[in-house]
Amino acid sequence: MDLSALRMFHFLHPLWLLAVPPFWVLAAWLGRRAGGDGAWSGVIDAALLPALRLQAGKGTRSPWWLLALAWTLAALALAGMTWQRAPSAAYRAPIDWILVLDLSPSMAAADVPPDRAARARYAIADFLNAAKDERVALVVFAGEAHTVAPLTTDVATIRALLPPLVPSIMPESGDQLGPALNEASRLMRTVASRRAQVVVFTDGVSDPANALRAAQRLRQQGALVNVIGVGTTSGAPLPDAQGGFVQDAQGRSVLSRLAVDQLEHIAAAGGGYYTPVSEAGALVARLQALSASPASGQQINTHQHVNAWQNGGIWLLPPLLLVVPLLARRGWL
């Protein structure tokens, strides 16, 4: 260690040093007490006391100094002595992805094979495959919103939860996006997230005004709302619960069409992009590029480093491990 290192020597957690003097005083007192006759000299005649001892001589003394040494090494290690800095990559919290899936009855339409819900799940799987440092959450909605998975880096679990997500599992019918966006906002607040990309997979909603307001609130909170339109403008017959199709008063099948204009307005209110499901890969690439772009102010820049003090207390662990087994000798303590 050169002189410059000595000048920089200090402790990261110096309060641990306060534990050393009291223990040395205690060890000295216990050592003196164990080294003499203790309290027995007050009740047993001095001439008989040596004959009553199990062992005589220095072997009866307990190594309290060794215990004090072990405690000192442990306290110094916890105090974190340091004398040099180590560069580390600058870090930021990753951008959160909150995926919102529409499971209203219209998502069972088959204008995009095999059906809209399945096609949306395939697109969600693409987002999960692309997630690296991002935390991902999954919310589904119909008449009400339900969180399938909160923000987590465990995308494998979310991927395993995807196959059962079909419109028939929802406990209530409807197509309310507003509550789902409010749920996304709640998930952000739960983890104190200040930046997020909300991606909505839907064919249209029945509460556009409420959805617009919720998207604007998310934007103010630091999130961008993107919408992926699932379906076609020509539409497809709307399936019913009996396996047929919903019919109007004239007996004609009711068509469910993709509400492009409505969804574009919601995306614009949320500051994000509208993308048809056939181009979902482009949105995945766009969000990845946004995470890596220096202009976004939300990236991990591996070219920028910070110098942090390197904790040298770890070097005291080997001698500590050598001393501690000696304390386990029979009759020492």
Q: Is 176 a member of any domain?
A: yes
Q: Are 167 and 129 in contact (CB under 8 A)?
A: no
Q: Is 302 a member of any domain?
A: no
Residues 103 and 185 placed together within one structural domain of the fold: yes
Reported as a single tens digit per residue, the pLDDT across 280-301 is 999 999 988 887 654 444 444 4
Residues 268 and 314 placed together within one structural domain of the fold: no
Residue 179 to residue 186: CA distance in whole angstroms? 10
Which carries the bigger pLDDT value, residue 306 or residue 64?
64
**Given this model, what pLDDT does residue 297 score?**
43
**Given this model, what pLDDT does residue 240 score?**
73
pTM reported for the whole predicted model:
0.63
Residues 48 and 180 placed together within one structural domain of the fold: no
Q: Is 333 a member of any domain?
A: no
Residues 131 and 152 placed together within one structural domain of the fold: yes
**Given this model, what pLDDT does residue 56 score?**
45
Backbone angles phi, psi at 205, to 5 degrees: -130, 160
Asked if pLDDT for residue 48 goes beyond 50, the answer is yes
Task: Tell me what the pLDDT averaged over the chain comes to.
Answer: 83
Q: Which single residue is written with the structure tokens 């406990």?
A: 171
Q: Is 213 a member of any domain?
A: yes
Residues 152 and 236 placed together within one structural domain of the fold: yes
The CATH code of the domain that includes 286 is: 3.40.50.410
Query: First CA to last CA across the chain, in angstroms?
Result: 37
Residue 169 to residue 185: CA distance in whole angstroms? 24
Interval 80-91 mean pLDDT: 70
DSSP string, 81-137: EE--EEEEE---PPPEEEEEEE-SGGGG--SSSS-HHHHHHHHHHHHHHH-SS--EE
Q: Tell me the residue range of the domain where 38 lies.
A: 3-88+308-328
Reported as a single tens digit per residue, the pLDDT across 194-253 is 889 999 999 999 999 999 999 999 999 999 999 999 999 999 888 776 666 777 666 677
Residue 108 to residue 105: CA distance in whole angstroms? 6
**Given this model, what pLDDT does residue 320 score?**
84
Residues 71 and 7 placed together within one structural domain of the fold: yes
Residues 189 and 317 placed together within one structural domain of the fold: no
What are the distances in angstroms from CA 190 to CA 128, 140, 152, 193? 21, 18, 12, 8
Residues 173 and 291 placed together within one structural domain of the fold: yes
Residues 127 and 52 placed together within one structural domain of the fold: no
Q: Is 303 a member of any domain?
A: no
Residues 19 and 161 placed together within one structural domain of the fold: no
**Given this model, what pLDDT does residue 252 score?**
73
Reported as a single tens digit per residue, the pLDDT across 50-84 is 666 655 444 445 567 777 888 888 888 888 888 87
Residues 185 and 254 placed together within one structural domain of the fold: yes
Structural domain tally of the chain?
2
Residues 140 and 281 placed together within one structural domain of the fold: yes
